Structures are given as C-alpha cells and as structure tokens.
Structure 1
Amino acid sequence: MSETTSRVLQLLGLLQSRRVWSGEELADRLGVTGRSVRRDVDRLRDLGYPVHASKGHGGGYQLGAGAALPPLLLDPEEAVAMAVCLRVAAGGSVAGVGESALRALSKLDQVMPSRLRAQVSAVHEATVTLTSGQQQDLVEPDVLMTLARASRDHEHVALSYTDIRGNVTQRRLEAYQLVTTGRRWYLLAYDRDRDDWRSLRLDRMSDVRALGSTFTPRAAPDAATYVQRAITSSPYRYVARVRYFAPKDVVAQTFSASTVQIEPDGDDACIVTAGADSAEVMVPYLALPGCDFEVLSPPEVVEAVRVVAERLARAAG
C-alpha cells in the first residue's frame, strides 16, 4: 500500500471517529502539512465520501451523510462489537431485521481476521439471551453463516438432518435462499439425492459443511411461498380450508403468516389454509378471528366443529 493511500485511509478513520476535526489537528495526527490534508480530503470526496469543511470558531472538517453508504473503517474492538450485535440480531424476532443482520454479518465475517472471529465466538458463547412469550428455535450462528455464504456463492453443502419423527438422514444440497419467520429459520434447497426441492429447518441441522464445489442455479420456486406452503400444510395430519366472512386484512391480524396461508375471496371474505395433527384442537384456533366462518374441508374438521359446538352449547346451559 502506498504512503498516500495509507494516509488517506488513516484520515478516513479519524473523520469517522469524531464529529469535527480542525485542519491543524488532522495535520498533527497524520504528520503532514495542512496542504496535504486538503489534498487527502479531496481524494476522499472523489471516492464518494461527503467531507464538509467549515470556517470560524468550532469549524473544521466533518464527514457528512451522503446519498449512498460508503465503506466504513472499523478498528478491532468496533468490528468485534458489531459482529456480536449482528449475531444477536440475526437470531432475533424483529420483523425484517434477521435477514438484513445476516447479510451484514456475512460481509463482515468474510474480511474479519481469524483472531477477531475467535473473540466474537467467545463473547457469543458466553452470552445467554432471554426470550419472551413465543419459544424460539435457536440456530448456531456458524450454521447461518455457512448457509448464507453457500446461497450467495452457489456452493454445494452437506449436512445431517433430523426430521419431525426423529429420523436422521444425510443431505447433499444446493443452497438457494434462507427464509425466517421470526421464530424459525428455513433453507430453500435442491436435494441432489431426492432430485427435488426441499424446505429444511436450520435448528434440525448438524454437521453443516460447505463443500467448495459450485453449481449452476436452477429455476427456483419463490422461497417465501414455498416455505410458507411447506410449514402450514405438509407436516400435519389434517389440513383445513376455511372461509372467513371478513376481509383478508382483518383475519390476518389474528393469524401469523408463518402458520397459515390467507387468500382473498372477494372483498369481504378470505380463505385460510391451516394444519394440525388433531381436528378438535384446531377448532378453537380457527375461531380466534372472532367472525363467522365455514370449514370447506376436510370432513374430519367439519365434524370436529360440530362436536365442539355442541359441547360448548351444553356448557352454556
């Protein structure tokens, strides 16, 4: 790295560390003249960094906000702190934050020295997060990182997978996209041995390995739609289709998008698809929106609604 380039990077780090610097302070820190500072400031501006200059008491050089986010320079302590926060955010339940945090963490992890990566792992392993309300299925950050990079780089992965019945199988996959529901992480992948698409839960994976070899991407289904259909229908014994006599937006306020599918049925009705292993257990869940509804299928759930309704009528005297 040339002396000028090194000095410009050092200047950028100083401007990012404090709100305002005088020209004299910067020249003293960099060991150059005020003229050299002005030239280096111009170089930063040419690279897209909005460096503002003001005169008078309290004036100086200040790094401003631009139309685009330029690269940031982080010292080792800042890099570790940011990576720890991103790991926590990636496993959180705030809508939209998990995937964004994972993308940022993937970029940071790619360039982070191994000694700093070890510090991040040590802090994460020594930290326990208390979750409220809904149980979250925790995923190891390294699993998230491996699959995120494999999806981005079209890299083959291999892993062990435990299904809902406890059976363990070895999977060879083409990783396409990660999907989070806030509570769980899923991977949309093409299973090379089964010659078909699969939606797999990350918390059921172990021994996840990127193999180094790459694949040519196939025409993939929409990840969000595929995963939603898989988690609302395929794991359950009974899959009910229910018409609610209320607009889709009203019914959606009760149900989570990760547990049901909702389709509009005209302006004042909608169709909900939901699954469960017990028909009777499903009935009070279907009644949650607080509006009239009718079960379209299957017959077992229709009969369960009748049985539960008669039981409630007897309980009401």
Structure 2
Amino acid sequence: MKTEGTTERVLRLLSLLQRRPSWTAAEISAELGVTDRSVRRDVERLRSLGYPVRATAGVGGGYQLGAGARMPPLLLDDQEAMATALSLRLAAGGTVAGAEEAALRALTKLDQMMPPRLRAEVRALHSATGALTGPAAQISAEVLLTLARACREAVRVRFRYAARVGGETNRTVEPVQMITTGQRWYLMAYDVDRDDWRTFRLDRMDEVETTTWRFRLREHPDPAQYVQNAVTAAPYRYVARVRLRASAEEVGVQIPPQVGRVEEDQDGWCLLIAGADDLEWLAVHVARLGYDAQVLEPVALRDAAARLGQGLTALAGR
C-alpha cells in the first residue's frame, strides 16, 4: 500500500473522478493503493466539500462525479491550465457582452494559483501572438445561453429581429445550432412562419424567449456550410465565381470563412465563391491573391477588372 497524507489522497481521488465518467471502488482502490473502506471515507470527505459524488451499488456500480447546486473547485493538469488561461485571455476581448469582466476575474484567480513555470509559459505565448480583427458585434450572454438551451432541448424560440434593410419583425423559429465567425454569432433555425431555413445574427435579436413548444428536429443542411453561404453570398448584390490556379487548401488559408468559400476544382484549379456590392473592390482582392484567375460569373466582374487595370496602368505611367 502507498503511504500518503489524507489531503493528498483526496485530491488524487478528485483528479481520478474528473478524468473519466465512472470508476468502480476496486479501480479506485488500486489507483490510490488503499482499501475500499478508505475510498468510502475519502468520497464522504469530497461530498462534505461540495463535490456531488454519486455512488451506484451492485455489479457494474461505482462512483461518478455529478453536477451539484454550486460550482466546486476544479483540478487542472498543466495542459488544461494553459489551455484555460489562453482561452480566458481571448474571451477577455471577445464578442459576448459582459463576458470580458468575468473572464478577467477568472484569469486573475487562475494566474494567482498557477506555478511560476506555467505562468511564464502562458505569458510568453500570449505576448508572442496577436490578432488582426475588426470591431466585433457584441451580444448579451443571456441571449447566448437562452439560445444554447433552446438548441439543446429542442424548443421553439420567439424574438424580434432587425433586418439588414428594413424594420423589425417578430420571428418564431426552431433553433438548430449557433455558429461564430470570430466577430459575429449566427443562429441557423427553421423559420416557422416562412416555412424555410434561415440564419439570424444574434446581435440583431431582441426580446429573445423560449416557448413551451417542443419540436422534432427536421432534416437540415450542414449548419456551418449554410451559415457560411448566407454570410458570404446571400447578403450581397453580386455573387462571383472565380477559378484560381491553386489548391483549395492553399487559397483557403488566405480567405476567412466569413468572406468567401473555396472549393476544389479540376486540373490543379480551385473555385472561389464570394459576394460583394462593389465589383472593383472584389477584383482588387482577387488580384492580390496572386494566382492566375478566370472569371466565370458575373461578366460584369471582367469589365470591373479591365477598368481597374486601365487605371493602374495609367497610374504606373505617371
């Protein structure tokens, strides 16, 4: 049997229970090197500290760490602590209104408890990285949580929605999944009144509330692809399809998913699909990619590229 202090053993037991959903008494005894009776006593000590440890008797029974009425302390290994700290730093400048302050409070607590070596690694990694992002559209944490529960429990949601062009409308939807582009959050849902799938920007929602109407999930398109198509093509006056002499993987790293969609084509080419209200602006960005390009549609994009080329030639001549 291993000899160690009661506190250290209880912490090791907590770490085991957090590692996987269920443990038998025999497995815990073997891991900790103690008797079944000691395991039972240590379980009671965890319960007295607020950890809801459930026990099931009989063949196949064991111990399981469940959810309680309050949030007890967590044990994190080195990798988990680093990942949590970096995620909290990102959340401190995120898109969920009110989350910045909570993330900073949690990060302060975690930073205080981390060993110096881990704290130094986290700070070094954070100082060596940055992000180039524009102004993000903030949403309330309450809206995010309400919609997340509605997706999980398959209940309809009502809200007022401000359209990109036009006034507000009342919507009743069957939510499927929320998608974030990094700067905005979108909900893919079935619009009951319009009898079709729709995407909704969360920052344009107001008076969001769940109903008591449960629904059976309909067959639906892939949420990420559906939202990507909605934000890269549907809102714009023009939708361009341009072939580029490069692989989709190569071009994809230069095109954010909220800007355009890149698909593999034939013979070493790929297909870029992107929307724009200004074709000359789109021509500039396609040209800046630096690949041989063929405009499939619209024809007006070729005319815009020609005008742009003439202007650049004249500029170079001067």
- Scaled by the length of structure 2, the TM-score of the pair is 0.65
Partner of 2:65 in structure 1?
Answer: 71
Give 2:155's aligned amino acid: E
Q: Deviations over 1:33-68 (max 9, x none)?
A: xxxxxxxxxxx841798563259xxxx99x9xxxxx
Partner SS for 2:216: coil
Give the fraction of aligned pairs with identical amino acids, expressed as a percent: 33
1:147 deviates by 0.6
- CA distance in 2 between partners of 1:148 and 1:73 (Å): 18
Give 1:46's aligned amino acid: T
Give 1:239's aligned amino acid: V
Partner of 2:224 in structure 1?
Answer: 224
Aligned pair in 2 of structure 1 residues 45, 232: CA closer, same or farther (>3 Å)? closer
Q: Tell me if structure 1 keeps the 8 A contact 2:137–2:183.
A: yes
- CA distance in 2 between partners of 1:48 and 1:260 (Å): 55
RMSD of aligned C-alpha atoms?
4.1
1:134 deviates by 2.4
Q: How does 1:1-317 map to 2 (within 5 A)?
A: 22-23=5-6, 45-46=23-24, 50=28, 52-53=31-32, 71=65, 76=71, 78=73, 124=102, 133-317=133-317
Partner SS for 2:194: coil
- CA distance in 2 between partners of 1:183 and 1:73 (Å): 32
Aligned pair in 2 of structure 1 residues 135, 50: CA closer, same or farther (>3 Å)? farther
1:133 deviates by 3.1
Aligned pair in 2 of structure 1 residues 279, 160: CA closer, same or farther (>3 Å)? same
Partner SS for 1:197: strand
Give 1:308's aligned amino acid: L
Q: Deviations over 1:62-91 (max 9, x none)?
A: x9xxxxxx6377865748xx9x99996896
Q: Deviations over 1:139-187 (max 9, x none)?
A: 2111111111101111010001111115211101111111122221111
Aligned pair in 2 of structure 1 residues 277, 91: CA closer, same or farther (>3 Å)? farther
Q: Tell me if structure 1 keeps the 8 A contact 2:188–2:197.
A: yes
Structure 1 portions without partners, runs of 5+: 1-19, 28-43, 64-69, 103-119
- CA distance in 2 between partners of 1:24 and 1:185 (Å): 44
Structure 2 portions without partners, runs of 5+: 11-21, 47-63, 75-80, 106-130
- CA distance in 2 between partners of 1:87 and 1:161 (Å): 31
- CA distance in 2 between partners of 1:220 and 1:212 (Å): 22
Aligned residues: 245
Q: Tell me if structure 2 keeps the 8 A contact 1:247–1:267.
A: no
1:123 deviates by 5.4
Partner of 2:19 in structure 1?
Answer: none
Q: Tell me if structure 2 keeps the 8 A contact 1:254–1:288.
A: no
Q: Tell me if structure 1 keeps the 8 A contact 2:92–2:101.
A: no
